């Protein structure tokens, strides 16, 4: 800010009192301050490349020289700056008429307006973002603003309130110097700010290295609205962090084992979080009475807001006519696009497959390249169903008494309405796989809607 002579300061005070625009000052290019070029350079950092910019109060047109590549520039001022200039007196209620504007800027303009609120309302009608500066009075409350030629005086809070009443929201506020601030404003409907960021706890076996649990980690993140924060925690080892949560997502589509079902810490966690959605299946389900006390799974399901079960057989075994259970399907199928195999060979996926060092997309591509796939793991087989011509499976026999897990049978029943003999190749009915994918997609959308509803409370 340049120093003023007493006569110039008095002249400006008189104009402020009369409400007249200082045409003499703005017609003299010598009155432009060199520091305004730095202000324009900072403003350009908030302007996207390729934008059509209306620069109101363009002055020396410093902004044009600072704009990013591809921008088009439309100057506007009280007096003509070049042949492109739209000339208008804002204090006389005039406003520039320009078509195809993507962003409007006004640097060092608002302070000189008798009715800044009315001007901002006109700017809002353009429906585009705004980059502007303003010298708020709480930065230098002792400053003689009239001596600067400034007609109005607003604090930061008052400036934001005037913008809000005009339908503009402050997206950024950055100090230019000890007196001025630069603002990026946007029409209010372009901004959606939640009152509070909701916290979601996703509790699963995400730290395991197997294919399905790794995929589930990514899919569960897609359930949660962009405004919420997701915190992942492991079941084994138990790794639940401190703090409050608005929603618990129990599982990412895997099978919940008996040790987890019986864990007192899990039941206590569900009781202290307002809502819990279970996204899991079961296994070795007909041996549950021998493995655990049935009251544990009964208590668990009773505490859930909703259990989104992986398979229909899960519901038949444990649903018991409950109103809080729904059939989700194996949602990991949504990670596998329908594809056509290219290799006329057989891929064998063993039970002890080591996938931890393989990117998930490469694993999917590899499985989908083969016309025949034999798998001892459930989710590689699910992936193969979206591409292979024929598949076979080997059930899991991890129970010490040799009982089968039942996961393969449940999946095949859901998709094909029947099971197939173990270790024998069968032809894949592509239409039934597509129908299953569509069904799961609809169910996942319903699950997402429930997540959004619970977090909107």
Q: What is the DSSP string of 194-222?
A: -SS--EEEEEESTTS-SHHHHHHHHHHHH
Sequence-ordered list of residues with C-beta below 8 angstroms from that of 17, at least 6 positions apart, any chain: 146
Neighbours of 398 (CB within 10 A): 13
C-alpha to C-alpha distance for 235 and 206, rounded to whole angstroms: 9
* Tens place of pLDDT per residue across the chain (457 aa): 566 778 777 877 777 777 777 777 877 777 888 889 999 999 999 999 999 999 999 999 999 999 999 999 999 999 999 999 999 999 989 999 988 999 999 999 999 999 999 999 999 999 999 999 999 998 888 888 877 888 899 999 999 999 999 999 999 999 999 999 999 999 987 655 556 789 999 999 888 878 888 888 889 888 998 889 999 999 889 989 989 999 999 999 988 877 788 888 999 999 999 999 999 988 876 555 445 556 778 889 999 999 999 999 988 888 888 999 999 999 999 999 999 999 999 999 987 765 556 788 899 999 999 999 999 999 999 999 999 999 999 987 665 566 777 889 999 999 999 999 999 999 999 999 999 999 999 999 999 999 999 998 6
The confidence score (pLDDT) of residue 149 equals 80
pTM over 0.75: no
Nearest-5° Cα angle at 270, 267 to 274: 160
CB 389 within 8 A of CB 369: no
SS3 assignment, position 183: strand
Residue 203, class by beta-carbon neighbours within 10 Å (0-12 exposed, 13-18 middle, 19+ buried)?
Answer: buried
DSSP codes joined into one string, 88-140: --GGGT-----SS-SEEEESS-GGG-S-HHHHHHHHHTT-S-EEEEE--TTTS
Residue (of 135, 134, 122) closest to 167 by Cα position: 122
Sequence-ordered list of residues with C-beta below 8 angstroms from that of 92, at least 6 positions apart, any chain: 21
DSSP E strand stretches across 237-336: 247-250, 275-280, 306-309, 325-327
| Size (the chain), residues | 457
Residue (of 312, 379, 372) closest to 342 by Cα position: 372
The strand pairing partners of 253, in sequence order, are none
The confidence score (pLDDT) of residue 290 equals 47
Q: 172-179: long-range contacts (C-beta < 8 A, 24 or more apart)?
A: 172/46, 174/42, 176/38, 176/39, 176/42, 176/133, 177/35, 178/139, 178/140, 179/1, 179/135, 179/139, 179/140, 179/143
Which domains are present in the chain?
A: 6-190 (3.40.50.150), 194-457 (3.40.50)
SS3 assignment, position 409: helix
C-alpha to C-alpha distance for 96 and 114, rounded to whole angstroms: 17
The confidence score (pLDDT) of residue 456 equals 87
The confidence score (pLDDT) of residue 118 equals 95
Neighbours of 43 (CB within 10 A): 26
Q: Which two tokens stand for residue 19?
A: 């409400």
What sign results for the dihedral spanned by CA atoms 431, 432, 436, 439?
positive
């Amino acid at each position: 800010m340049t120093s003023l002579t007493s006569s110039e300061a008095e002249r400006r005070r008189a104009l402020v009192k009369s409400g007249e625009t200082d045409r003499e000052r703005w017609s003299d290019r010598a009155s432009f301050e060199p520091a305004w070029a730095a202000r324009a350079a900072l403003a350009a950092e908030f302007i996207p490349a390729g934008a059509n910019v209306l620069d109101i109060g363009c002055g020396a047109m410093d902004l044009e020289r600072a704009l990013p590549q591809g921008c088009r520039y439309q100057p506007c001022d009280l007096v003509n700056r070049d042949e492109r200039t739209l000339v208008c007196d804002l204090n006389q209620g005039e406003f520039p008429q320009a078509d195809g504007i993507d962003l409007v800027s006004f640097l060092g303009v608002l302070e000189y307006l008798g009715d800044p609120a009315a001007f901002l309302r006109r700017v809002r009608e353009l429906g585009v973002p705004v980059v502007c500066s303003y010298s708020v009075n709480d930065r230098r409350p002792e400053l003689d603003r009239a001596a600067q030629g400034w007609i109005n005086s607003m604090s930061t809070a008052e400036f934001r309130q005037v913008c809000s009443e005009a339908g503009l929201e402050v997206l950024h506020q950055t100090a230019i110097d000890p007196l001025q601030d630069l603002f990026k404003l946007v029409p209010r409907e372009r901004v959606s700010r939640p009152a509070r960021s909701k916290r979601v706890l996703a509790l699963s076996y995400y730290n395991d290295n197997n294919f399905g649990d790794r995929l589930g980690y990514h899919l569960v993140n897609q359930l949660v609205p962009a405004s919420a924060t997701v915190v992942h925690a492991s079941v084994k080892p138990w790794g639940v962090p401190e703090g409050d949560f608005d929603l618990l997502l129990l599982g990412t589509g895997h099978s919940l084992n008996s040790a987890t079902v019986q864990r007192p810490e899990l039941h206590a966690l569900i009781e202290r979080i307002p809502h819990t959605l279970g996204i899991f299946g079961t296994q070795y389900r007909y041996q549950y009475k021998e493995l655990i006390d049935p009251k544990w799974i009964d208590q668990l399901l009773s505490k859930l807001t909703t259990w989104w079960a992986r398979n229909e057989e899960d519901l038949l075994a444990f649903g018991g006519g409950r109103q809080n259970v729904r059939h989700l399907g194996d949602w990991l199928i949504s990670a596998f696009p329908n594809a056509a195999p290219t290799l006329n060979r057989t891929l064998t996926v063993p039970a002890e497959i080591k996938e931890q060092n393989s990117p998930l997309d490469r694993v999917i591509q590899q499985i989908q390249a083969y016309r025949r796939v034999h798998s001892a793991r459930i989710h590689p087989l699910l992936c193969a169903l979206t591409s292979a011509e024929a598949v076979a499976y080997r059930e899991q026999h991890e129970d010490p008494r040799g009982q089968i897990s039942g996961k393969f049978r449940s999946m095949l029943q859901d998709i094909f309405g029947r099971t197939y003999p173990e270790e024998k190749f069968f032809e894949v009915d592509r239409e039934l796989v597509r129908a299953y994918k569509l069904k799961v997609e609809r169910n996942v959308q319903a699950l997402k809607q429930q997540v959004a509803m619970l977090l909107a409370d």
